[in-house]
Each structure stands twice: as structure tokens, then as C-alpha cells.
């Protein structure tokens, strides 16, 4: 465990992927669990902003995948579940069986960006080529038209099975087919960025908030790159909403925090971090 300070506020204690804002002395505490896409960057910044306005509120944020957030909400160990996908029918049924109604609220939009190493000469892929790469039908870059300069075995990086992005990408890009057996499953967006940046033959997918990292470049899909404009216009094929889930209608501090997320100030932060606001 290590303690660090964030922008002059009280210590943030980092334990794995869990962030604890504030201390146990606070009367109000919000526990938020789930999506790495939301929980690694966006929600911690929004929580920090909210605490600046409401210093009596503390946060515990764990970003370990959408499935974990919905499970925590159903199990009563989270006030809010972060998810980059919609709850599945079995999750909804499991919630109902335990007296929990999973209520989704869209808080931003995102585009799942395809990234390759900056040394890769390819700038664009077709949707068919993306499917072939991630299912393992195509395993060498030379087969994608780059010639000898791009030849080499393709290293595919994906999120792990707890991730909502892992499931959404299968639906949006792979016709629900299985990932290639050789694909490497990673816990978060930042891990995928790191691997692709250090592997000339690497390819992976990340949210828009992560595409500015060094060592990578974004590949256009059918000539269209992911951006605020292409996501809103539904021109980019791998766009999707992101959600905060609550048990029924949000109440108390959870409701007030969500109201802040959807406020003008909150949505400005959404855009600053790299997501597409709903406002």
C-alpha cells in the first residue's frame, strides 16, 4: 500500500486498483466499483471535484471491470456500479432475485479506439480486417497489405473477461465470435497502451481518454477515426455509452453525486478527460 497526495487534497491511499478519498472520520461515504474505462481516470477526477465542494464526503473507488461493479451493486457492497456495457439479462435477474433493480444512467459516450505501435506503417483497417485480427483468422501484418515493411506476427491485446469493453468489442467488432486463443488479456486500458507502445507488432483497443499516450497511434476504421464528432454522429462503428448503475432510483449522496456528474461542470470534466459528454 502506498499513500500519495492528489492536487493538494487529502491523501489518496492506493491498494491495487482501489482508491480511497478522505478518511473514516467523514459521515458520508460513497463506494463506487466497476469499469476500468470509467474508474481509472474519469470517476476519480469527478470525485475529487465533488469533494472540493463537499468535504464531508469520502469515496472508495475500485476499478476492476464492469462485471465486478454490477456484482458489487447486487451484493450490496457498492452504492454505484460503473459499467461500460449494459447489464446482461442474467445480471438483471440475479438482482431482482436479491431485491435489487439495476438502474442504468448514461453519463458519457466513448469510442473504442484501435491502437497500434507508432512504428506500424498501417493507418487504416476495414471492419472485416479488425474481425480477422482479433479472432485469429489473420496472424501476420503482411496479410493486411503493408507488404514486407509491416511483416511480423500480430500480437493481440484485449481486456480481461470482467471488462465491459471486452464484451462490447466482441459485439461491435467480432460478430460475437471468440477472441484468438493467442490474444493476451490485460486488466486495463493503461496496460494495453503500455504493451502496444513497447511491441512493434502489437494491436489493442482502448477508450478515447487513453489515445494520447506516447508510442502508439490510432488506426482509422473504414477511413473514420474515433472522435467526439464521429461518436456523436454515429459514424464511428465502435462507439458506445458508458453507465453509472444504482439500485433503483438513486437517493441521498449517490443521487447528488450523479447530479454533479451530469451538471455542466461535471460534463465539462468528462470532455476534458477525453470522453464524449451527454449534454
Q: Is 3 exposed, middle or buried (0-12, 13-18, 19+ CB in 10 A)?
A: exposed
**Nearest residue to 245 (alpha-carbon basis) of 95, 94, 79, 99:** 79
pLDDT of residue 25: 47
> Hey, which bits of the chain come out as E strands?
2-5, 11-15, 18-21, 28-34, 57-63, 80-83, 102-111, 113-117, 124-125, 155-159, 184-186, 202-206, 216-221, 239-247
Look up the pTM and report it: 0.86
Pairing of strands 184-186, 202-206: unpaired
Q: Could you tell me if 250 and 32 are in contact, meaning their C-beta atoms sit under 8 angstroms apart?
A: no
Domains by residue range for the chain, with CATH: 2-110+241-273 (3.40.190.10), 113-237 (3.40.190.10)
pLDDT of residue 177: 97
Can you give the three-state secondary structure of 78-113, one letter per residue? Answer: CCEEEECCCCCHHHHHHHHHCCCCEEEEEEEEEECE
Residue with cell 478522505: 22
Pairing of strands 28-34, 57-63: parallel
Question: Edge-to-edge strand order for the sheet containing 202-206?
Answer: 124-125, 216-221, 113-117, 202-206, 155-159, 184-186
pLDDT of residue 249: 97
**Per-residue pLDDT tens digits of the chain, which is 279 residues long:** 332 333 333 333 333 345 655 544 446 999 999 999 999 999 999 999 999 999 999 999 999 999 999 999 999 999 999 999 999 999 999 999 999 999 999 999 999 999 999 999 999 999 999 999 999 999 999 999 765 557 899 999 999 999 999 999 999 999 999 999 999 999 999 999 999 999 999 999 999 999 999 999 999 999 999 999 999 999 999 999 999 999 999 999 999 999 999 999 999 999 999 999 997
Helix (H, G, I), strand (E, B) or coil at 233: coil
Alpha carbon distances (Å) from 11 to 24, 59, 110, 253, 273: 12, 12, 30, 21, 22
Q: What is the largest CA-CA distance in the chain?
A: 63
Amino acid at each position: 500500500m502506498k499513500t500519495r497526495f492528489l492536487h493538494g487534497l487529502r491523501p489518496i491511499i492506493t491498494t491495487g486498483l482501489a482508491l480511497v478519498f478522505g478518511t473514516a472520520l467523514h459521515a458520508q461515504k460513497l463506494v463506487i466499483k466497476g469499469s476500468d474505462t470509467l474508474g481509472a481516470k474519469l470517476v476519480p477526477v469527478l470525485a475529487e471535484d465533488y469533494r472540493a465542494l463537499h468535504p464531508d464526503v469520502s469515496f472508495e473507488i475500485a476499478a476492476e471491470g464492469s462485471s465486478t461493479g454490477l456484482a458489487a451493486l447486487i451484493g450490496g457492497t457498492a452504492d454505484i456500479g460503473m459499467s461500460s456495457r449494459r447489464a446482461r439479462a442474467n445480471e438483471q435477474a440475479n438482482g431482482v432475485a436479491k431485491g435489487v433493480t439495476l438502474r442504468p444512467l448514461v453519463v458519457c459516450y466513448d469510442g473504442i479506439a484501435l491502437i497500434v505501435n507508432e512504428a506500424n506503417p498501417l493507418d487504416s483497417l476495414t471492419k472485416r480486417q479488425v474481425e480477422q485480427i482479433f479472432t485469429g483468422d489473420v496472424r501476420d501484418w503482411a496479410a493486411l497489405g503493408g507488404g514486407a515493411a509491416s511483416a511480423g506476427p500480430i500480437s493481440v491485446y484485449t481486456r480481461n473477461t470482467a471488462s465491459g469493453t471486452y464484451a462490447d468489442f466482441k459485439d461491435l467488432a467480432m460478430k460475437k465470435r471468440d477472441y484468438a486463443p493467442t490474444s493476451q488479456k490485460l486488466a486495463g486500458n493503461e496496460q494495453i497502451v503500455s504493451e502496444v507502445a513497447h511491441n512493434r507488432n502489437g494491436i489493442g483497443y482502448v477508450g478515447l481518454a487513453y489515445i494520447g499516450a506516447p508510442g502508439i497511434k490510432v488506426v482509422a476504421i473504414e477511413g473514420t477515426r474515433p472522435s467526439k464528432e464521429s461518436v456523436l454522429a454515429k459514424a464511428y462503428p465502435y462507439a458506445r455509452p458508458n453507465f453509472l448503475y444504482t439500485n433503483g432510483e438513486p437517493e441521498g449522496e449517490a443521487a447528488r453525486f450523479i447530479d454533479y456528474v451530469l451538471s455542466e461542470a461535471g460534463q465539462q470534466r468528462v470532455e476534458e478527460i477525453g470522453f464524449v459528454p451527454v449534454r
